[in-house]
Amino acid sequence: MIPPTKRAGRQVLKQQRRRISELETQVADLAAQVARLLKNSSTSSKPPSSDIVKAPKPPGSKGRNRHVGGQPGHPPHQREPFAPEQIDRVEKHILHECPDCGGVVRPAAAPARVIQQAELIGRPVEIVEHQAGAYQCVRCGKIHYAPLPAAVEQGGLIGPAPQPSTVVEARARLGLVVEQVTPMLAEKYRLETEDGVLVKEVLRDGIGARGGMKAGDVIVQLGRYRVSSLEDSGTLLGHLREGTKARVGVIRGDRVGFATLQL
């Protein structure tokens, strides 16, 4: 049986999720208003016609491929980094093998490559420092850095929130693409619960597929412990050892059942 949770705690959690959903809607509305204001030529130094009409390019001209950042021949202009006490969270990215020759890597003495981003959250911002660890290939001796998510590389100062480590681990270890259940998801997929972790996709030949997991399942228990959030599942996944079996409690439609996953 799945251990029950306290009704008061569940109610507070639901209220907080509804409030987050409301704040997200307000942020989207404000962003749309700002976009409309920026298109208003009355606030621009250009004549009104220049907002719409652009001079045609000369025949035979080709656009130049410009890269993000300073152009060749121009001095770089970089902002001051956030101070350590301003950092809310540090994401450390790991390199598993040499990207050139496939050799084994070990931590190098070189400092990590750092990108700092301010992410929009309910607070409303969280300063995240992404540290791509430096690794030296034992075979060829080259120093390489752990790969960063593409969204982080391309995001600049304000970047989209990367996938939580729990999402990455669930995909890598269990072959499951998961997402936190929210009131909006519960309504969209007609779920019987607003807690737990939704299985959005089951990867072919993964541990989840072999254990009978299906897309649309809601994970509410792992081992003997209840799963109410991604944080819960991440903590429990970290304690599962290779070669053991994990009993997973799921809600499928209006039924509650269990799947056994061989790790």
- Return the pLDDT at 138: 92
Rounded to an integer, what distance in angstroms lies between the CA atom of residue 133 and that of residue 177? 26
Mean pLDDT of the region 63-92: 73
CA distances from 120 to 29, 32, 78, 159, 161 (A): 14, 16, 21, 8, 8
Which CATH superfamily is 165-262 part of?
PDZ domain (2.30.42.10)
Give bridge partners of residue 248 from the DSSP assignment. 222, 259
**pLDDT band with cut points at 50, 70 and 90 for residue 217:** very high
Give bridge partners of residue 152 from the DSSP assignment. none
**pLDDT band with cut points at 50, 70 and 90 for residue 56:** low
Residue pLDDT, tens place only, 149-180: 776 777 677 665 555 666 766 777 888 888 88
Rounded to an integer, what distance in angstroms lies between the CA atom of residue 24 and that of residue 120? 10
Q: And the tokens for 7? A: 């009704």
Range of lowest pLDDT (30-34, 65-69, 86-90, 239-243) = 65-69
pTM of the model: 0.39
- Return the pLDDT at 2: 47
Q: How many CA atoms lie within 13 A of 79 on its CB side?
A: 8
- Return the pLDDT at 174: 86
Q: What kind and span of H or E run contains 19?
A: helix 7-38
CA distances from 178 to 136, 170, 196, 199 (A): 33, 7, 10, 5
Mean pLDDT of the region 245-261: 89
**pLDDT band with cut points at 50, 70 and 90 for residue 111:** very high
The residue with greater pLDDT, 66 or 219, is 219
The full set of domain ranges for the chain reads 84-155, 165-262
